Structure 1
Amino acid sequence: MPSKLLLADIGGTTTRLARAGADGVPFDVRIETNDSYASLEELAGAYLAGLGGARPALGAFAVAAPVDGEEVRLTNRDWRFNRADLARALGLAELAVVNDFAALAHAVPLLTREDLIEVGAGRATPGDPVLVCGPGTGLGTAVLLPRPEGNIVLASEAGHMRLGAVTTDEARVIAHLVRDLGPVAVEHVLSGHGLVRLHRILSGESLTSQAIIKAAVHGQRSERETCDVFLRIFGRVLGDLALAFEAKGGVFVAGGLGRAMAHMFADSPFRAAFDDHPPYTDRLTLIPIQVVMHATPGLLGAGQVGRAMLARRAAGA
């Protein structure tokens, strides 16, 4: 398959890389642990060095960070780069860089029924805003605005909004976090590190996020209770965001933690907390929520960004 694009989905913990042709569909997918490399340039360079045949000419990277200009700094990892300098170092004629959840939003129209798990009932209103949000190393958020002339994607840093409490156990969590961290952001709880903090506060145990989820899936009471509190807070925050963006086009839960917890959503307080926003409970109940199970949706979205870049260059040729 002709290789025209180098794709990357760069998170705080792992990076996914692939190649794509003119259709933007990823192939030769590789998943790397960021701790194994000193920089993004080293990581992407190692991937390119292992390729056979012609190298990709263009790149489309999704990064877990705001993208405001040439200088990009990851939010939850001490990596930074200059877009033009990185393009030159990797031998790319052009490099597009977008926020990782903006890339996920670009991927939403390509997801199939097999890629999704529905949480509760609901019916999307075609043409209305679509919310994409999910916990991983941090909490990512973006909004897709479907348009006949081409979809519009808005990146967001909603994970850094302040988090409040509704119940007594949440108030206890917030009090602990204020003491340890100062002002509490949403992703201080709704992230991998946040799940670890939450479990330590609620149970006194220090476990990894993977261990907490695994134990919860296998019916361990303490870990399941932590996951239920996590999912209740997540549902409430998503309901807040769905109201903020009028996301009647649907809500898609992405991120590694969301995928790992997918089969707990239905039997948790998640959907009830999402809906419970008087006087708009009935309004929120109509919004469908899907958990994204596709293994590399960020690459799928980056491929669509790259595909559009190829089309623009072809039109200008």
Structure 2
Amino acid sequence: MTSTSERTDAFEFPILIADIGGTNARFAVIDNADAIPGEPQIVRTADFATIDDAIRTAVIERLSVRPRSAVIAVAGPVNGDEIALTNCPWIVKPRAMEETVGLKDVVVLNDFEAQALAVVALGDEHVEKIGGGEALPHAGRVVLGPGTGLGVAGLIRSSGKWIPVPGEGGHMDIGPRTPRDYQIWPHIEPLDGRVSGEQILCGRGLVSTYRAVAITDGREIVHTTPAAVTRAALDKSDSVAEEALSLFVTCLGRTAGDLALVFKAQGGVYLSGGIAQKIIPALKAGNFRAAFDDKAPHSEWMAEIPVYVITDPLGALAGLAAYARAPHTFGVETEGRRWHN
């Protein structure tokens, strides 16, 4: 028998699911409650003036389907009827979407809520473990991902439901600890007078860290993109790039460990996004785990918390799909974030 809450929460099919990042937008459509998402459509946000243009081109025209509902995850806080993305010029206007793309029911979530939902939607084949013990099945979890920015979310279980906890943890301060850190930090580019996690733990942050190491030692700045720095570090062709990536990994471990303490994340810490997937060899080198565990007086406890890299590049869509098919099984707060047009 279908409960009242299930009928109230349910979305009308077909349902559009969308993961909108600073650089790429990923779309898929779910035809019915038993269906897996259809073929994902991935577009660059820079190629479209608005999200509505992207939906028309990537979904309605390419797939010849007109969704009735949508669950959209965006990189930025969800406030009001016009939602600006943090690292993309798009503004999502859910109330206008019935007229622009035919959507009668729209929910907008933070992109890292989607990543948190993915944690319970993905199987073991979609993650790679970076040390620690076994996850406690119903314990708190944390997801963080260096990408265009640094996204953070928690995941807790209460009353039989998984509840994603969005936030802006990527903007927490991050500071030097070692003598070498104190040499490098003055050359890391601040934002409004401070260095936050996002000034180091994202693509441009890796380049900034590389530049800071080079300036500290009076070395030539050769690389200008995250991919070039990562390549040079992993193939050991540039010692400055190697140190920059090592410091990046150490800072990621420190930040991940701090968040694990906040959420008592004995269910695991999950690293998402393309950067984490590309630097798995560096994450396994040892300094990430050492920095993660170094949280006296709780170091022994921290050493038991498993860390995983989400290796599925479309993990967020899997999380959104799980929620869209059965919203009553998740504790997602939709007040002020759901629009019935």
The answer to whether TM tops 0.5 is yes
Separation (CA, whole Å) in 2 of partners of 1:52 and 1:125: 41
- Deviation of 1:35 after TM superposition, in Å, equals 1.3
User: Hey, what does 2:253 align to over in structure 1?
Assistant: 235
Residue 155 (str. 1) matches residue 188 (str. 2): no
Runs of at least 5 residues in structure 1 that lack an aligned partner in the other structure: 313-317
Deviates more, 1:5-14 or 1:35-44: 35-44
The answer to whether the Cα contact below 8 Å between 1:129 and 1:249 also exists between their aligned partners in 2 is: yes
User: What is the 5 A alignment of 1:45-194?
Assistant: 45-147=56-158, 149-177=160-188, 182-194=193-205
Instruction: Name the aligned partner's letter for residue 13 of structure 1.
Output: T
Could you say which residue in structure 2 is the equivalent of 1:315? none
Match of 1:266 in 2: 284
Q: Structure 1 residue aligned with 2:39, among 28, 31, 34? A: 28
Contact residue 191 and residue 199 of structure 2 kept, 8 A: no
Deviates more, 1:233-242 or 1:35-44: 35-44
Unaligned runs of 5+ in 2: 1-11, 215-220, 331-341
Q: Higher mean Cα deviation, 274-283 or 34-43?
A: 34-43
User: RMSD in angstroms over aligned alpha carbons?
Assistant: 2.2
Contact residue 196 and residue 207 of structure 1 kept, 8 A: yes
Code of the aligned partner of 2:60: A
**Percent identity at matched positions?**
34
1:255 equivalent to 2:255? Answer: no
Work out which of the residue numbers 295, 313, 323 in structure 2 matches 1:277. 295
- Separation in 2, partners of 1:9, 1:129: 23
Whole-Å Cα distance in 2 between the matches of residues 181 and 53 of structure 1? 46
Residues 180 and 115 from structure 1, CA distance in 2 versus in 1: closer, same or farther, beyond 3 angstroms?
closer
TM-score, length basis structure 1: 0.91
Does 2:310 align with 1:295?
no
Structure 1 residue corresponding to 2:55, chosen from 20, 40, 44: 44
Give 1:10's match in structure 2, choosing from 1, 13, 20: 20
- Aligned 8 A contact 1:9 1:61 in 2: yes
The alpha carbon displacement at 1:54 in A equals 4.1
SS, match of residue 109 in structure 2: strand
Q: Which moved more, 1:192-201 or 1:75-84?
A: 75-84
- Where does residue 216 of structure 1 map in the other structure? 233
Paired amino acid for 1:197: S
CA distance in 2 between partners of 1:118 and 1:200 (Å): 30
Q: Name the SS for the 1:28 alignment partner.
A: coil
Aligned length: 311
| C-alpha distance in 2 between matches for 1:294 and 1:161 | 27
Deviation of 1:289 (Å): 0.4
- What is the match of residue 8 of structure 2? none
CA deviation string 1:127-174 (max 9, x = no partner): 211011110001111111124532111101000111111123322343
Change (3 A) 1:12 1:63: same
SS in 2 for 1:50: helix
Q: Is the 8 A contact 2:59 2:65 kept in 1?
A: no
| Contact 2:97/2:104, CA 8 A, preserved across alignment | no
